[in-house]
Amino acid sequence: MNKKFIIKPDIKNQKLTKNISGIDHTGAHYKQKVVMEKPLTIFLNNQEIVTCMTVGDRPDWLALGFLINQGMITKSDKIISVDVDWEIETAVVRTDKVTNYEEKIKKKIRTSGCGVGTIFSDVMDNFDQIKLNKGAIIKISWLPKLLKSINMQPSLYLEAGAIHGCVLCIEDKPIIYVEDVGRHNALDKIAGWLWNNDYDVSNMILYTTGRLTSEMIIKTVQMGVPILISRSGFTAAGVELAIKSNLTLIGRAKGKRFIALSGIDRILFDD
C-alpha cells in the first residue's frame, strides 16, 4: 500500500456505508455493505445553486470545488466561510462580496454524471481561453506503478463498490484520492481541496475511475490539469473537447495498456 497519500479514502467512517441483509446466489443469508447517498444543497451566500447527491464526506470541499469549477468563484474572491449543516442538508459558501447568479442558474444542463451531474452552459464561455501546459509529460513507464498504487489503496470501492474515485498524481505517485457516488463530485472535492493548498497542477496527472465524458473534460481543463487518465472509455463529446483544449486524454488504462485520443505529444514512450 502506498503510504504517501496526503488524502485517501476514509474507510473507517461508518457514516459513509451501511450493512443490508440479503441472500447470495446459493440462497444463503448475506450481509452487503453499501455506500450512502444523500442530498446536499449548495448555496453561494444567500443564493441556492444546486442540489447534488453525495456519499457525504468532505462536503466543504465538494461545495467549494463545485462553485470553482462552475466559474462562480475565482482566485480574486475571498472565502469567508464554508458552513455545512447536515440536519437541513445544506452547505453555504460565503464570500466577501455580493453575488447574483440568477441568470446563470437558468442555464443548467443535466449531465450524464452518476449521482446527477449538473453544469451551467456558460462555463464554456472561458473554456477556449484556458491554456494547458504543453511541456507536461507522462511516461508510459509510470503507468503500471501508478495504477497499482491506486488499485491497492483501501477504498470504499473495494469495501462496497457503487462509487467512483478521482486521484491527483505527481508522476507515478498518487497524492490525493477522494471518492463519491459521482465522479464529477470526486473531481469537485479535489478542486475544493486545492483552493486551500498551494499546489501547481500544471504538471500533474488526474486519474478517474469513471467515463471520460464532456463534464469530466471541462472540469479537468478548468482546474488546469493537462493529463487525464481513466480505466474506462470515452464519449465523442468528451474527446472533441479534449482535442479542442489540448488535454491529454488516456482511456482503457490497465497495466501498460492504454488508448490515447488527444494530447499525444505529452506521452513519452520510455519503456
pLDDT at 101: 79
Average pLDDT, the chain: 92
Q: How far apart are CA 231 and CA 238, in angstroms?
A: 15
pLDDT digit string, tens, across residues 63-120: 999 999 988 998 889 999 999 999 999 999 999 988 887 667 766 654 545 544 555 5
Q: How far apart are CA 95 and CA 212, in angstroms?
A: 32
pLDDT at 38 over 70: yes
Architecture of domain 138-268: 3-Layer(aba) Sandwich (3.40)
> What's the whole-number mean pLDDT along residues 42-60?
95
Contact predicate 258/250, CB 8 Å: yes
C-alpha cell at 210: 469513471
The distance of Cα 73 from the centroid of its chain, to the nearest Å, equals 17
Q: Say how many C-beta atoms besides its own lie within 10 A of residue 245's C-beta.
A: 21
pLDDT digit string, tens, across residues 244-271: 999 999 999 999 999 999 999 999 999 7
* Nearest Cα to Cα of residue 49 among 14, 85, 101: 101
pLDDT digit string, tens, across residues 191-213: 999 999 989 999 999 999 999 99
